Amino acid sequence: MSDALQTLRQRIDAVDDELLRLLAQRARLAQEVGRLKQGNLFYRPEREAQVLRRIKAANPGPLSDEAVARLFREIMSACLALEQPLRVAYLGPPGTFSQAAAVKHFGHAAQTVDCPSIDDVFRQAEAGMVDYAVVPVENSTEGAIGRTLDLLLDTSLKICGETVVRVHQCLLRREPVREGIERIYSHPQSLAQCHEWLNQHLPGVARVPVSSNAEAARLAAAEPQAAAIAGEMAAEIYGLTLLERNIEDDPNNTTRFLVLGRHDAAPSGQDKTSLVMSAPNRPGAVYELLGPFARHGVSMTKLESRPSGTALWDYVFYVDVEGHREEEPVARSLSELKNLASLLKVLGSYPVAVL
């Protein structure tokens, strides 16, 4: 080994020792916070968002803001697990983008619990079997996830966070070659998202829709002539070779997930409020519902309508606005809305996704 290399490695070891000492010091401070809170709501989404935003703003480089935020997410996750490893329900099986979203938001120290349906994810959290739930709410190409919106209407859970995941699809197979593939398994949405790539690179190969990408990977692991389209994480879980990365036709394909808990979050300085409302059935009623936000200068980031499920052609509106429900402009808008809307439910105020 050259002298220069040896010296650099010695210096890296010294920095690692120092990092380790500082990490232990941080963990002990977090434990003290835990004692102050006496197990009461140890996980604070607004504080975690503030920590990550501060780190990104203070980042001197050369690591990217994204990279340092990811590292600090894991540090907080490990500190939090000293108190109690959080249990987080997601739409399984293991290897789905929902699991990736849960890990992105809570870090690897959280315990993720797979559920067979979105309904079950809600039920587990409502019944207190898990601490939090992560559910998909919208996709940039496919639009709203209707089942999640419907379940939000009746749940006792509050939205306490959001996270956005880039959906990168991969071609996975047991055999390490592309030749000889006779079938490709995937979720119908993923097959649709890779339509052009498949036409070009694997024309004439049968596309077989299955219930999830992880299920596709599981099937492909058992059949030498089959391949699967799934996320990268499924390759490791199901022992498959990653033949091709990023085969989705739209490289900006993203899914937004909501984090649900039995509490929402305190103001973090950069928050969103989600609500659902409906208008009495008369001319101009929907227009009036949007008035309070306009008058108080509150920006709307989403407006989605869904059939109410009670009367034919009766709609409910899902609205996201900028700001926290405890902050003046949103608070004032909400109190005016109470008199205008036939239904008004605040689903939660929560920090805008940092990562």
Ligand X SMILES: C=C(O[C@@H]1C=C(C(=O)O)C=C[C@H]1O)C(=O)O
Cis peptide before 224 (omega within 30 of 0): no
In Å, how far are 54, 141, 147, 150, 317 from 255, measured between CA atoms? 25, 9, 15, 18, 20
Binding ligand X by CB under 6 A: which of 49, 52, 69, 79? 79
**Residue 43 interacts with ligand X (CB under 6 A)?**
yes
**51 interacts with ligand X by CB under 6 A:** yes
If one asks whether residue 56 binds ligand X (CB under 6 A), the answer comes out as no
| Nearest approach, Cβ of residue 58 and ligand X (Å) | 15
Closer by beta carbon to ligand X, 48 or else 322: 48
**53 lines the binding site for ligand X (CB under 6 A):** no
Return d(Cα 67, Cα 74) in angstroms, integer: 11
Please name the residues in contact with 191: beta carbons below 8 A apart, sequence gap of 6 or more.
184, 198, 207, 209, 229
Q: How far is the CB of 69 from ligand X (least distance, A)?
A: 13
Cβ distance to ligand X smaller for residue 110 or 135: 110
Question: Is position 24 an interface residue for ligand X (rule: CB under 6 A)?
Answer: no
Residue closer to ligand X (CB basis): 86 or 319: 86
Strand pairing class (111-115; 87-91): parallel
Binding residues with ligand X: total (CB under 6 A): 11
Three-state DSSP state, 277: strand
Closer residue to ligand X, CB minimum distance, 44 or 173? 44
CB of 102 to ligand X, least distance (A): 15
Annotated active-site positions, please? 255, 257
| 71 contacts ligand X (rule: CB under 6 A) | no
Nearest to 141 by CA among 272, 301, 256, 299: 256
Our finding on whether 80 is near ligand X (CB under 6 A) is yes
Q: Binding ligand X by CB under 6 A: which of 12, 14, 19, 33?
A: 33
In whole angstroms, give the CA distance from residue 188 to residue 167: 14
- Position of tokens 């980031």? 301
Mark the segment that binds ligand X (CB under 6 A) among 72-80, 101-109, 131-139, 160-168.
72-80
Counting contacts by CB under 6 A, is residue 42 touching ligand X?
yes
Which residues are CB-contacts of 20 (< 8 A; sequence separation ≥ 6)?
none
Question: Considering the rule CB under 6 A, would residue 76 count as an interface residue with ligand X?
Answer: yes
Record the tokens describing residue 31, joined without a space.
Answer: 């434990």
Please give the DSSP secondary-structure letter assigned to residue 252.
Answer: T
- Give the alpha-carbon dihedral of 74, 75, 81, 85, to 10 degrees: -10
**Should residue 106 be labelled a site residue for ligand X when binding is judged by CB under 6 A?**
no
30 binds ligand X (CB under 6 A): yes
Quote the least distance from Cβ 33 to ligand X, whole Å: 4
Residue 227 in contact with residue 220, Cβ under 8 Å? Answer: yes
Please state, in angstroms and as integers, the Cα–Cα distance from residue 6 to each residue in 12, 19, 175, following that order. 10, 20, 41
Helix (H, G, I), strand (E, B) or coil at 5: helix
Where does this chain touch ligand X (CB under 6 A) — which range of 40-48, 193-201, 250-258, 294-302? 40-48
Give the residues lining the site for ligand X (CB under 6 A): 30, 33, 42-44, 47-48, 51, 76, 79-80
